[in-house]
């Protein structure tokens, strides 16, 4: 009986993202038709089988998106909306690039140092928002948005100081020494591009996320607080401490978002370092329902759409920005669909339980509440 329950629930849960994607296809197609653009060619391009080179690009993008989405999801599980992942990963990547670029430690130790610095920087930056919330009641939404803006200016300012004077237009930190770079994995044959070596970092983060939230006491307290703060307080959870801790934890993971890029591709933090990963993480966490495996699929879908749309301008004569519409509609519909499904689930389960009990006991005692 329980198993049937779970299968049914899973079916319902899967129907939401599928529905959301369908809605996105319809809305996007409508926009294309209205604008007089070739609908068939657009979808033909996006849904074509990606070439090996693109597959590697999709995997690499998904790795980074995954870490970002997990960082956001940690907050979500606690009812905290950490919009600041974007600022946190940029501050962290910059700090790690500066420290690792100095090459104080040899080889792999230098990589480890870089990762630790990134985690510290991300955690500290997110901790500011946590402290503001706990001691001053400032909404983390507001403070992290502000901190994102501050992070942008701060990094730009510090980058000028840290960058070696080369006379070139590109401002960038000292490159990381050869010995401290993470080599790629030639997973896809026939292309020179390789999958980021730090893919293992993303997998590790995913496993830890699942383990800490699902299996530990800390995770139990965190989820309890997210589900009902008042019940968590009554059960002995120190909610202020939990808010601060989970905000910092979210920032620590956010700090790692830029690491596959830094150690596997760019080897320095400069003005061209990829922006916007934090905001993508919010959408992907929503789409993946904060589930460690769900986020994997969501990250791949996001990366797939991103990469496949690059060719739109050439093949269909449509701006590749179209993909933003598709992604936006997916997120909007998925948020609505999940809420509808959640309510549906609550009602269905109530009815099922009542039914099962009615079958168990032919006679139901009737009594008024005392």
Partner 1 sequence: MRRGEPVVELHGITKRFPGVVANKDIELTVHRGTVHAIVGENGAGKSTLMKILYGVQQPDEGSIAVEGRVRQLKSPADAIEAGIGMVFQHFQLADNFTVLENVVLGAEGLHGIGDGARRKIKEISDAYGLDIEPDALVEHLGVGAQQRVEILKVLYRGARIIILDEPTAVLVPQEVDELFDNLRELKAEGLTVIFISHKLDEVLRVADAITVVRRGTTVAEVSPQDVSARDLAELMVGSELPSPSTEESTVTDVPLLTVEATSLENPLGGRPLLTDINLTIHSGEIVGIAGVEGNGQDELVEVIMGMREPTAGRILLGDVDTSTWQTREIREAGIGYIPADRHRHGLLLEAPLWENVILGHQTEPIYVTGPGGSLVNGSAARQETEAVVEQYDVRTPSINVTAGSLSGGNQQKLIIGREMRREPKVLVAAHPTRGVDVGAQAAIWDHIKQARRAGLGVLLISADLEELVGLSDTIHVILRGRLTGQFDPDSVTKEELGSAMTGATTEGAA
Judged by the rule CB under 8 A, the positions of this chain that interact with partner 1 are: 1-2, 5-6, 215-221, 223-224, 227-228, 230-231, 233-238, 346, 349-350, 352-354, 356-357, 360-361, 364-370
Residue number with CB closer to partner 1 (150 or 212): 212
- Confirm if 264 and 89 have CB atoms less than 8 A apart: no
- When the beta carbons of 216 and 319 are compared against partner 1, the nearer one is 216
Closest CB to partner 1 among residues 314, 344 = 344
C-beta of residue 275 within 8 angstroms of C-beta of residue 90: yes
Say how far apart CA 329 and CA 327 lie, in whole Å.
6
Nearer of residues 314 and 346 to partner 1, judged by Cβ = 346
Distance of alpha carbon 20 from alpha carbon 336, whole angstroms:
9
In 10 A of CB 192, how many CB atoms?
A: 8
Length of the chain measured in residues: 370
CB of residue 334 to partner 1, shortest distance in Å: 19
CB of 206 to partner 1, least distance (A): 19
Contact 123, 149 (CB under 8 A): no
Measure the CA angle with vertex 142, ends 139 and 148; round to 5°. 135
C-alpha distances out from residue 170 to 160, 270, 291, Å: 11, 7, 39
Nearest residue (CB) to partner 1, 27 versus 237: 237
- State which residue, 160 or 365, has the beta carbon closest to partner 1: 365
Token pair listed for 30? 């409508």
Instruction: For partner 1, give the closer residue by CB, 190 or 367.
Output: 367
Q: How far is CA 69 from each of CA 220, 263, 267, rounded to the nearest angstrom? A: 20, 20, 23
Nearer to partner 1, 6 or 178 (CB): 6
Residue 324, number of CB atoms within 10 A of its CB: 13
CB 240 to partner 1: min, Å: 11
CB of 44 to partner 1, least distance (A): 42
Could you tell me the smallest distance in angstroms from the CB atom of residue 322 to partner 1?
37
Contact present, 250 and 69 (Cβ < 8 Å): no
Concatenating the DSSP letter of every residue in 70-84 gives: HHHHHHHTTT---TT
d(CA 47, CA 304): 9
Cβ atoms of 196 and 63 closer than 8 Å: yes
Q: What is the nearest approach in angstroms of partner 1 to the Cβ of residue 356?
A: 4
- Is the Cβ of residue 40 or residue 214 nearer to partner 1 in the bound state? 214
CB of 2 to partner 1, least distance (A): 5
- What is the nearest approach in angstroms of partner 1 to the Cβ of residue 8? 12
Query: Rounded to whole angstroms, how far apart are CA atoms 17 and 15?
Result: 6
Residue 345 CB, shortest distance to partner 1, in Å, is: 9
Closest to 70 in 3D by CA, of 192, 205, 170:
205
Taken in order 99, 105, 107, 112, is the CA torsion positive or negative?
Answer: negative
In the complex, least distance from residue 236 CB atom to partner 1, rounded to whole angstroms:
3
**Cβ proximity to partner 1, 1 vs 49, nearer residue:** 1
Q: Which two tokens stand for residue 177?
A: 């020494």
At 328, give phi and psi (nearest 5°). -60, -45
């Amino acid at each position: 009986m329980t198993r049937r329950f779970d299968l049914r629930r899973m079916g319902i849960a899967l129907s939401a993202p599928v529905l959301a994607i369908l809605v996105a296809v319809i809305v996007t197609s409508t926009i294309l038709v209205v604008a007089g653009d070739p609908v068939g060619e657009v979808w033909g391009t996006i849904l074509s089988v990606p070439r090996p080179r693109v597959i590697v690009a999709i995997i690499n993008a998904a790795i980074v998106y995954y870490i970002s989405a997990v960082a956001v999801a940690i907050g979500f599980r606690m009812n905290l909306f950490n919009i600041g992942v974007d600022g946190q990963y940029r501050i962290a990547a910059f700090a790690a690039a500066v420290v690792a670029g100095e090459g104080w430690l040899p080889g792999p130790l230098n990589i480890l140092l870089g990762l630790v610095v990134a985690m510290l920087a991300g955690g500290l930056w997110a901790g500011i928002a946590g402290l503001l919330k706990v001691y001053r009641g400032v909404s983390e939404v507001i403070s992290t948005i502000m901190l994102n803006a501050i992070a942008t200016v701060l990094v730009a300012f510090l980058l000028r100081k840290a960058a070696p004077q080369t006379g070139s237009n590109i401002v960038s930190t000292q490159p990381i020494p050869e010995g401290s770079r993470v080599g790629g994995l030639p997973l896809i044959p026939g292309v020179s591009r390789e999958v980021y070596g730090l893919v293992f970092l993303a997998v590790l983060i995913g496993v830890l996320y699942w383990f800490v939230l699902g299996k530990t006491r800390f995770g139990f307290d965190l989820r309890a607080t997210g589900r009902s703060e008042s019940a968590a307080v009554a059960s002995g959870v120190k909610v202020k401490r939990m808010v601060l801790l989970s905000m910092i934890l979210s920032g620590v993971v956010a700090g790692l978002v830029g690491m596959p890029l830094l150690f596997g591709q760019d080897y320095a933090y400069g003005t061209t370092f990829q922006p916007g990963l934090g905001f993508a993480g919010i959408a992907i966490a929503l789409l993946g329902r904060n589930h460690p495996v769900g986020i994997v699929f969501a990250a791949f879908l996001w990366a797939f759409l991103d990469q496949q749309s690059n060719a739109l301008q050439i093949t269909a004569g449509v701006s590749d920005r179209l993909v933003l519409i598709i992604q936006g509609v997916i997120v909007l519909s998925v948020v609505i669909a999940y809420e509808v499904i959640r309510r549906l689930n609550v009602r269905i389960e109530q009815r099922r339980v009542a039914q099962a009990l009615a079958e168990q006991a032919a006679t139901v005692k009737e009594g008024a509440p005392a």
